[in-house]
Chains A and B, each alone.
Chain A
Amino acid sequence: MPTRWERLRLIVAPAAALVLLVAIWELAARYSDTPDFLLPAPSELLEFITANFGLLVSHARATITASVLGFLIAVGFSLVLSVLMVWSRTFEATVYPLVVITQVIPKVAVAPLLIVYLGFGLAPKIFLAFLVAFFPLVINTTLGLRAVSSELLQLLHSLKAGRVQILMRIRFPTALPYIVEGAKIAIAFAIIGAIVGEFLAGNRGLGYLVNASTVSLNTQQGFSALIVLTIVGVLLFEIVQVIGKWMLPWYRDGERAGG
Chain B
Amino acid sequence: MASERSSENSAVLSFQGVSKTYQSRKGDVDAVEKVDLEVRRGEFVSIVGPSGCGKSTLLKMTAGVVNPTTGHIRVGETSVDAGDPPAGYLGMVFQTPVLLDWRTVLENVLLPIEILDRDRRDARQKAAELLSMVGLDGFENRHPAELSGGMQQRVAICRALVFDPEILLMDEPFGALDALTRDEMALELLRVWEETQKTILFVTHSIEEAVFLSDRVIVMSPRPGRVELEVVSDLPRPREPGLRYGTEFGEYSQRIRDSIYSGRRQSDDGKEGLGEPLGK
B63 part of interface (Cβ distance < 8 Å): yes
Distance (Å) between the CB of A146 and the closest chain B CB? Answer: 15
B84-119 contacts to A (CB < 8 Å): 84-85, 87-88, 90, 92, 94, 96, 98, 100-102, 111-112, 114-116
Contact in complex: B145, A258 (CB < 8 Å): yes
**CB–CB A169/B111 < 8 A:** yes
> Which residues on A sit within 8 Å (CB–CB) of B114?
169
Q: How far is the CB of A144 from chain B (nearest CB, A)?
A: 13
Known A173-B100, A250-B102, A256-B101: A158·B145 in contact at CB below 8 Å: no
Tell me, yes or no, whether B49 is within 8 Å of chain A by CB: no
| Given contacts A169-B114, A250-B143, A250-B145, A155 and B98 within 8 Å (CB-CB) | yes
A contact residues around B163 at 8 Å (CB): 159
Q: Which residues of A contact B100 (CB under 8 A)?
A: 170, 173
* Chain A residues numbered 151-177 whose CB sits less than 8 Å from any CB in chain B: 151-152, 154-161, 165, 169-170, 173
Provide the residues of chain A in CB contact with B146, threshold 8 Å. Answer: 257-259
Interface band, chain B: 20 to 34
Give Cα distance in the complex from A155 to B64, angstroms. 10
For the complex, give the distance between the alpha carbons of A160 and B8 in Å.
29
Taking the complex as formed, is A251 at the interface, i.e. its CB lies under 8 A from any CB of chain B?
Answer: yes
Whether A151 and B143, one on each chain, are in contact in the complex, defined by CB atoms closer than 8 angstroms, is no
- A259–B145 CB distance below 8 A: yes
CB distance from A39 to the nearest CB of B (A): 51
Q: Which residues of A contact B65 (CB under 8 A)?
A: 154, 157-158
Residues of A within 8 A of B126 (CB): none
Q: Is the CB of B64 within 8 A of A161?
A: no
Does A157 contact B143, Cβ atoms closer than 8 Å? no
Contact B60 A159 (CB under 8 A): no
Q: Is the CB of B85 within 8 A of A158?
A: yes
* Separation of A258 and B65 alpha carbons in the complex (Å): 34
Give the residue of A154, A157, A250 whose beta carbon is less than 8 angstroms from that of B101: A250
Q: Which residue, of B63, B84, B102, has the highest number of chain A Cβ atoms within 10 A?
A: B102
* A90 beta carbon closer than 8 Å to chain B: no
Name the A residues within 8 Å of B60 (CB-CB).
154
In the assembled complex, the CB of A185 is this many whole angstroms from the nearest CB of chain B, namely 23
Given A257-B145, A258-B145: A160 in contact with B98 (beta carbons within 8 A): no
Mark interface residues in A234-259 (1 if CB within 8 Å of B CB, else 0): 00000000000000001100001111
Does A158 lie within 8 Å of B92, measured CB to CB? Answer: yes
Q: Is the CB of B143 within 8 A of A258?
A: yes
**A160 to B87, Cβ gap below 8 A?**
yes
Contacts of B98 in A (CB 8 A): 149, 151-152, 155
B30 to chain A, nearest CB (A): 22
Q: Do A173 and B143 touch (CB < 8 A)? A: no
- Which chain A residues lie closer than 8 Å to B64 at the CB level? 157-158
A59 to B92, CA, bound (A): 59
B-side contacts of A256, CB under 8 Å: 101, 145
Contact A251 B101 (CB under 8 A): yes
How distant is A31 from chain B, measured CB to nearest CB, in Å?
56
Residues of A within 8 A of B85 (CB): 158
- Given contacts A152-B98, A169-B111, A170-B100, A158 and B143 within 8 Å (CB-CB): no
Measured CA separation A223–B60 after assembly (Å): 64
Contacts of A156 in B (CB 8 A): 115
The chain B residue sitting closest to A252, CB to CB, is B145
Contact with A along B154-173 (1 / 0, CB 8 A): 00000000010000000000
In the complex formed, the residue of B with least CB distance to A176 is B102
- A-B contact sample (13 more), CB < 8 A, given A154-B65, A257-B146: A154-B92, A155-B92, A158-B64, A158-B65, A158-B85, A158-B90, A159-B88, A159-B115, A159-B163, A160-B84, A160-B116, A256-B145, A259-B145
Q: List 30 A-B contacts (CB under 8 A).
A: A149-B98, A151-B92, A151-B96, A151-B98, A154-B60, A154-B63, A154-B65, A154-B92, A154-B94, A155-B94, A155-B98, A156-B115, A157-B64, A158-B65, A158-B85, A158-B87, A158-B92, A159-B88, A159-B115, A159-B163, A160-B87, A161-B115, A169-B114, A173-B102, A250-B101, A250-B143, A256-B101, A257-B143, A259-B145, A259-B146
- Chain B interface residues toward A at CB < 8 A: 60, 63-65, 84-85, 87-88, 90, 92, 94, 96, 98, 100-102, 111-112, 114-116, 143, 145-146, 163
